[in-house]
Structure 1
Amino acid sequence: MTPSIFRTVLGPDFDRLHPQLQRRFSVGLASGEACTGRGVMDRIWHGRGFVKPFLVVGGTRNILVPRVGRNVPFTIENVPYTDSFGRETVTFVRTFDLPGRSRRFDAQMVLAPSRDRILDYLGTHQHLASDLHPRVEPDGSLLIRSGEHRFREGPVDVRVPGLIGGDAEVRESFDDRTGRFRIQVRVVNRHFGPLFGYEGSFTATYADVRTCGVRAGLRPVREEARA
């Protein structure tokens, strides 16, 4: 059986994850499971005022969230499928039910050709691609840090310079006391400081992907072949 993309990258360390995290990050074509998390973001925050225009632009393609809020209901959908280039892909589509209008933050993850990292394609048209480096923490939680970011549009293929890019850090854990997953996301620019983030908790349910399939609108409008 082919392991999930996270198990492949983490190797033997995958078994040190909390058992609930092991199941969540085993979602893939081999497991045949899709995972839906539903919960509440305690806080969605932004950095200083100059950040807002960039978030607004990103929001038009479901990259980042251009609004702040507290106690915001949200859903995360992790569904495996084979993309148009034959790669196993897992959706990480987050929907935030903000007052007046829901906002989405779309990501599709695939295994890098080197098999030592994950490629995270962001947005409806996968214009941004980031390297992700997961690590298991001593308490069994998962820490994911971003690496290089690249922008792709037609013939354009450029590395995003650190001056305007953001370094993302995602922490996910499981709280045995409450029976909920906890997540904390923080994006920081190395020159200008914190840009964007959110933190909250959720419960997860699993479904047979062969039965539920990939619902309409979950896959990106355009898929990017370049790693």
Structure 2
Amino acid sequence: MTSIFERVMGEDFTRLHPQLQRRFGVGLDRGEACIGRGIMTQIRRGPWWTVPFLQIGRLRNILIPDTGTDVPFVIENYPYLDPYGRETVTFVREYAIGARRRRFDATMVHDAGRIVDYLGTHQHLAVDLDLAVDEDGALVLTSHAQRFYEGPVAFAFPLLFSGRARLREWFDDTEERFHVDLEVHNERFGFLFGYRGSFTCEWTPASHIPARLLPRRHERRT
């Protein structure tokens, strides 16, 4: 069984830089997890009126309201089988902004030929992802339709009231480091949130996923 990313990307997966192939090849078949440690050279947000929106997201580890430079962070990617039998990979990021610790939780699953990214501690938001490879062998991830799920409540978020993310991740052979650049924009209001930084990775057996990385609730609906 190939990783969820390789299944969705097909032949394009082989165009990724070899280090990215290993990083996004994390899966149950390979039996290893990836832990990245590095520095966010910049974390920024949009105008003042974006702060309440970001503060609400902070409550469920979806967005962070803080800004900073040279912020230490860790990202942990562990594969596991969720309660509905879907192979899942964690993308849990933790930032140390001064004395504060912030988390940005995401879990990605393969569903009907696509990657669905569940955001937050309770998988309230489900986001469709488009995965592409650019001419430098970098992964370019773009978010699309978003759905909100809470108990019996379910509805699609109009893009007017949500953000669209574009993330580019690449590997620098000279520095021997991964680099990442993310921006989240709203179609009407512009820039909301973004970060850029670099990190190194270590791979570890994925026979046991730390409980702190699991969402508090798994959502069946995609």
Aligned residues: 222
Q: Name the CA distance, whole Å, in 2 between partners of 1:88 and 1:126.
A: 15
Indicate the SS of the match to 1:169: strand
TM alignment of 1:123-202, pairs within 5 A: 123-202=120-199
Pairing 1:215–2:214 present: no
Letter in 1 for 2:85: G
Letter in 2 for 1:145: T
* 1:39 alignment partner in structure 2: 38
Q: Name the CA distance, whole Å, in 2 between partners of 1:216 and 1:207.
A: 16
Q: Which runs of 5+ in 1 are unaligned?
A: none
Deviations 1:67-103 (A, max 9, x none): 0010000000000001111110000000011112110
TM alignment of 1:100-111, pairs within 5 A: 100-111=99-110
Indicate the SS of the match to 1:148: strand
Shift of the alpha carbon at 1:162?
A: 1.5
Q: Name the CA distance, whole Å, in 2 between partners of 1:162 and 1:156.
A: 19
Percent identity of paired positions between Structure 1 and Structure 2: 54
CA RMSD of aligned residues (A): 0.6
Pairing 1:60–2:55 present: no
Indicate the SS of the match to 2:103: strand
* 1:224 alignment partner in structure 2: 219
Indicate the SS of the match to 2:9: helix
Q: TM-score, normalised by structure 1?
A: 0.97
Q: TM-score, normalised by structure 2?
A: 0.99
Shift of the alpha carbon at 1:11?
A: 0.2
Indicate the SS of the match to 2:160: coil
Indicate the SS of the match to 1:187: strand
Q: Name the CA distance, whole Å, in 2 between partners of 1:205 and 1:194.
A: 33
Q: Name the CA distance, whole Å, in 2 between partners of 1:93 and 1:201.
A: 16
- Runs ≥4 in structure 1, deviation > 4 angstroms? none
Shift of the alpha carbon at 1:216?
A: 2.2
Indicate the SS of the match to 1:56: helix
Q: Name the CA distance, whole Å, in 1 between partners of 2:129 and 2:14.
A: 19
Indicate the SS of the match to 1:13: helix
Q: Name the CA distance, whole Å, in 2 between partners of 1:45 and 1:15.
A: 33
